[in-house]
Structure 1
Amino acid sequence: MITTIKELIANHDIIASGFPAIADLSNYGTKGTPVHLTSLAPTILLEQGISEYYALELPRNTVFNNAEEIIAADLPVRKYCVSKVDNAAELDAVIVSRHQGTVNILKEQYPDAPVLENIMPADIKGKHVVGTLPPHLISSAGAYTPVTIKGFNYAVDGDLSGQELLDRMVISNQAIKLVEVN
């Protein structure tokens, strides 16, 4: 279901989490059904007992410093359902990351997995994707294992490397399937 952030705020009580600018959206939208809006990895949401949520469709390389900037941009918002996948090891694995340090670490765990760039939905259909993707692409994968950086904030964090990357990188131990709800 594609809507916009302004429409979501106008019709729902927003429970927001993730990047600080997104989390600040909890201060908006105080009527209607409570909904989760987040930039957190879907596996983290499952751990919190959340299986249905909304995510902003963020333009690549865009940084928002606060909720007001997100609202002014009136970004598209999509609704998703997330569930666990137990057969990810049976699927062909691919690595998706634009960060070379992350790719190097993932290649140690998935030595035969190709590294994909400029991903289109058809590139990952039926595959086990390991890395970082936005939800609208995750929903094309057969299974997804997210790689996240603890406390990462686009507005203040730069390109991590070395020990700091190793200390903050989290490779999920649970693969998921993400389905967009229409």
Structure 2
Amino acid sequence: MDIERYAGLTQALHWLTAALLCGLLPFVWVAENFPPGETRVFWYLMHESFGISVFLLVLLRLTWRWRHRAPDYPEGTTRFMRIIARLNHALLYAVLLVMPVTGYLMAGNGQPVPLFGLLSLPGLPRNDALGVAANTIHVSGQFALYALLILHVAATAWHVAIRRDGLLDRMVPPQRRRSP
């Protein structure tokens, strides 16, 4: 079955975003398990730096996507499945933009935000009400992100294991077949 694929840059940005999220999510869990001090600060800084990186990648992905259409869905994909897929992708993009913004509003509330120790993004004037609101949205957003990622991965697994319709092939480079 010959399937239309996403452009190579789209694939690379997708998998880079996935890899950064795999690092980003545990960093804050690790940080929470250390007492206040340098180690805890390090893991929070890594979380924040990866979050800013995800934000920039998502902006790049959206800009690229605006100029390059997605490949067609595999044959037999129902209208309902297309709507759910588009909705999940749109919500993933939205959450992946909102989370770093609210994280920045929390971390940069009265202080600069270091980016991998290389440079610092300017902080905002201290505003406790904004910090509380950003924290509420950020914490709620994490659960939305978990749910959307689980749905995204589960749907892909379903397409691979049950439907076997080549959907995942759209997001990976062509595989060479071995000679018998």
Q: Bigger relative contact order, structure 1 or 2, given CA contacts below 8 A and separation 6+? A: 2
Q: Where is the strand percentage greater, Structure 1 or Structure 2? A: 1
Using the size of structure 2 for normalisation, the TM-score is 0.21
Q: Normalising by structure 1, what TM-score? A: 0.21
Which structure has the highest helix share of the two?
2
The structure whose Rg is larger is: 2
